[in-house]
Chains A and B, each alone.
Chain A
């Protein structure tokens, strides 16, 4: 009989490599500056470039500069939810403990980014469309995504037994992932007021390179910033989990702690 591990087992082994909280914290400490500083530099560069040095649009005028915050937020709203769905698979299939903690921390950040996407979209829509809001397919599907985030946040914290909350929220995140292709293709499937995608994988971008570059810099900076915030929150979440276990573990008059875990979290 062959003892060769299956693909699922190999993937599980890879993911479980970082199931050890101490190992994840050490990785997080190393990763944090490599995410934070490039995020800061790229975001500031991209925003200043977009605000002061990129050209105005011949139709939209300077309001097109809202794109440099709106598009990265829209990208992060969808990709943050995709990350949530990946965490859900890791949680449901492999019972990965860090995937549950990551889902707890990604939810609020994703909800804030989605709210900013909706708000900046409204601020762009008012001068261009003459209205703050329309029940357009793209706008409505992003609003549904925002409610999915809120539902996930409520569900994952809504049970006395955290494991039940993790399971329920993971199922919601997976079911809600159906909204992601709807968001992406809404501008093709329906007649919408929202403009079609300017950047696609199949063709050349339909915008000037003078606008495209600051947009890409902003998007990369915001993405690294999102990752930096999630890693920082996840490190805090792991420490809080450790604090809870230390506070709840029975100690009888200075009895020796044989877990060998003390000091493992010191980073």
Chain B
């Protein structure tokens, strides 16, 4: 195969970029989902307290 270093570098760049962007997006999504779930759980607990649900007599 002629010009192999140029071809390999081009494919490496494209694959590296795809991996960087997709792994970055997946990690960000996972982190945000966990943070939001934790926050909403805290909120839900606060709301339950506010409306008297879950309280023992």
Where the two chains meet, the residues of A that have a C-beta atom closer than 8 Å to any C-beta of B are: 43, 47, 51, 56, 61-63, 65-66, 69-70, 73, 109, 112-113, 116, 119-120, 123-124, 126-127, 225, 228-229, 232-233, 235-236, 239-240, 242-243, 246-247, 251, 254-257, 262-263, 265-267
Contacts and interface: CB of A to CB of B under 8 A. Distances in A.
A257 B37 contact: no
B36 A265 contact: yes
A24 to B, nearest CB: 14
Interface in B1-29: 1-4, 6-7, 9-11, 13-15, 17-18, 20-22, 25-26, 28-29
B28 to A, nearest CB: 4
A-B pairs with lowest CB-CB distance, top 3: A256-B50, A232-B25, A61-B2
A61 B3 contact: yes
B2 A265 contact: no
A243 B47 contact: no
A73 B6 CA distance: 16
Given A43-B18, A69-B10, A233-B28, A266 B50 contact: no
B6 A63 contact: yes
Interface of B: 1-4, 6-7, 9-11, 13-15, 17-18, 20-22, 25-26, 28-29, 32-33, 35-37, 39-40, 43-44, 46-47, 49-51
B50 to A, nearest CB: 4
Nearest to A113: B17
22 contacts: A43-B18, A51-B7, A62-B3, A62-B7, A63-B2, A119-B10, A120-B13, A123-B10, A123-B13, A229-B21, A229-B25, A236-B28, A236-B32, A243-B35, A246-B39, A246-B40, A251-B46, A254-B50, A256-B46, A256-B51, A257-B46, A263-B40
Contacts of A119: 10, 13
A51, A69, A246 pick with most chain B CB within 10 angstroms: A69
Contact of B17 (A112, A239, A263): A112
Most buried by A among B2, B9, B20, B21: B21
B40 A225 contact: no
Nearest to A264: B40
B40 A266 contact: yes
A247 B32 CA distance: 13
Contacts of B43: 246, 251, 257, 262
A22 to B, nearest CB: 12
Contact of A262 (B4, B13, B35, B40): B40
B36 A239 contact: yes
A185 to B, nearest CB: 26
Contacts of B35: 239, 243
A31 to B, nearest CB: 13
A232 B28 CA distance: 9
Contacts of A233: 25, 28
Nearest to B38: A243
Contact of A69 (B14, B28, B40): B14
